[in-house]
Structure 1
Amino acid sequence: MTTREVLRIAPRFRGPAHSGNGGYVAGHVGTALAAVADDGTVPRVRLMVPPPMEVDLDLLVSSDSAQLAGAESPAASGVVAKAIAVAAATLDHATVDPVGPDEARTAEAQYKGLVKHPFPGCFVCGPANAEGLRLRPGPLGDGRTACTWHPSTDLAAEDGLVDPVFLWAALDCPGGWAIDLEGRPSVLGQMSACIDARPPAGEACVVMGRILSEDGRKTRTASTLYDSDGRVLARAQHTWILVDPALFS
């Protein structure tokens, strides 16, 4: 059985100026699949094209796959993103060793996106998006990034815990800035994530990122979200694609 719901990406949730943030969009598709997929699996979401904003998109979900599509998608097929369920072991190496909040705040002061950002309106890490998460993943000098995050109340679901879609979003850019997006501007191409626990709104969290490998235009990274007690809340792996930011302006 396939279910259908309509998703419309508001400008608040942009990544580049005219398309949706990759982690936010992947979060919608991945969360929908995770709700029905078999135990022992996690969603792997592939973004096919820059997600269009302010148009109606169909989110279609079956027991082992999901896709986001619409007539106004830039892709000839109409597909914006697709997800499949993969073995949870895919994320065995996704946990990034943590630092404490004080060290994370120190790293934030070195966040390069404050000086030069390829997509300053990004919902997750853009300094020009007043309605965004405003994460500042700064380098630790060893291939990792770190930043703090206090999820605002408007990110919570009805149970008072942060909506999983926003946890996917928070796991996005801290991995990307492990690449140094200033010198190697990239967009999210693929993301797998596992939500182990959801924090309440206002929880003092730390988000870590780490580079895993680089191959031509592709870079693989990992990220981990921790709560105030240092407990792992969520983990992700990403594939980033090197782009010319001018093509997204």
Structure 2
Amino acid sequence: MDTGGVPGRTSAFHWNAEVRPGLRVAFTAVGAGNLALHVGAEPDAVRGNRRRLESAMGVPGGTLRFMSQTHSDRVAVVDRTARHAPDADGMVSPDGSEPLAVLVADCVPIVLADAPVADGGTGATAVVHAGRAGVGNGIVEHAVRTLRRHGARDVAAWIGPSVCGSCYEVPGDMMEAMARVLPDAASRTRRGTPALDLPAAVTVQLARTGARVEPLVGSGICCTVENPDLYSHRREPGAGRLAGLVWRT
């Protein structure tokens, strides 16, 4: 099984691996270009980036599913019957047949997958956009519950690149408010100022649901602020968005 690794600087992918037979999970890098229609570049340029990404993934053009993300707690269930981008921050494909994408540039991208049908699972997949608001409003747990309502039992999770707990500086009262609910979210910058560790908070939330977090073996630096090969709104507002992806081959 392909375990991914660190692609070159010009690669479309920060990390790309076959995580189960016939199932791939990936997170893009700046080499894929900006993938968000609402950020910076002309829409035609973004559509071109999306077409090239689909080609690199080996999926038919126009099949990669995106969301209209608004830091909500909504989870959409998608199938082949509707092609519009749902207004949601979580998206579930009950049989895993739909290629899914989540866009971020400091927020936490999460990919979820149930065991394959051959192993007694549903093959269901999901993606989640978890920023500070999403961590607070329960989008992570909601996405896993939605998978389980569709029969998923053995849910694995992959947490993609995002701002780390040493780089996400916030006001002290904001850190304290989240720490009252999720103590692992409390962090400090290298200067000792209040910060939030969203990846740590997401890891705790996933553990609460019984989902198993899988490592990104060989991925390199996953802090979007620290790694110039990743998009970061904090470092460079409006530059672009990277994608967390899951698809069947």
TM-score by length of 2: 0.29
TM-score by length of 1: 0.29
Larger relative contact order (CA 8 Å, sep ≥ 6): 2
Judging by fraction of residues, say which structure has more helix. Answer: 2
Judging by fraction of residues, say which structure has more strand. Answer: 1
